[in-house]
Amino acid sequence: MITQIYTAQSPEEAVALAELGVDHVGLTPADIGLPGEISIEVAAKCAQAIRGKAKSSALSVSANLDEISAMVEVVRPDILHLCGLPGDVPPHAVAQLRGQIGDVKIMQAIAMSGPESLEEAQAYAPYADMLILDSVAPSIAGVGAAGETHDWSLSARIVREVNIPVILAGGLSPNNVQEAIGVVAPWGVDSLTATNQQLSGGGFRKDLKEVAAFVQAAVNASMLEAN
């Protein structure tokens, strides 16, 4: 069971997550007010710091392919996480983007808003390396960081009907991730908001105790699924 944790905000924090057994360390290189965003230069340092320890995942909510490619060229992540709103980067554009970013894997976010999410997942599956099923918050650009769960039965159907790896996201915590894995049987699970420690002056840092608990719960669930 792959564990993915967003969002590291320094090389030191990225390494700490990797040392806890996190498989994919999420980075948010942006300057538009996204939760936990960092500069492209800091994201590049984070990606370099964990190379060989964990995979780096850099998200983008942009619809501009050249802008996305430029970010990837600087950050050099293992995974490009496309999480703009539905239709911002349509499937044919994902196919074009693949030719621009070399061997970087593409993780396409699917907004889990209703039955249409299944059609969207099926449309992107031929062009992405993996999908991430996530919730949407009207106050946050793109798909994700909503801190809310969605219809896991629909997520489970997507897992069954697409032929690429699927990561489940959206309101997952150490308290519910084992149940979610039991219902959805995804390839991986993701956490952002439930593994944050809020800071008094605003913003957050990763709560390493919660991250460790999340990773352990996912491992336990995976072992149960195997038995």
pLDDT of residue 177: 96
pLDDT of residue 24: 98
pLDDT tens for the chain, 227 residues: list them: 999 999 999 999 999 999 999 999 999 999 988 889 999 999 999 999 999 999 999 999 999 999 999 999 999 999 999 988 878 899 999 999 999 999 999 999 998 888 888 999 999 999 999 999 987 666 555 565 556 777 899 999 999 999 999 999 988 999 999 999 999 999 999 999 999 999 988 889 999 999 999 999 999 987 776 65
pLDDT of residue 35: 87
Nearest to 10 by CA among 60, 55, 66, 50: 50
pLDDT of residue 140: 56
d(CA 7, CA 196): 9
What residues does 196 pair with on adjacent strands?
206
In the numeric block, which tokens belong to residue 80? 């490009």
Cβ neighbours of 138 (radius 10 Å): 5
Cβ neighbours of 75 (radius 10 Å): 24
| CATH code at position 29 | 3.20.20.70
Domains of the chain: total? 1
d(CA 99, CA 103): 9
pLDDT of residue 221: 87
pLDDT of residue 146: 57
pLDDT of residue 222: 77
Q: What is the pTM of this model?
A: 0.93
Q: Residue 38: give the domain boundaries.
A: 2-226
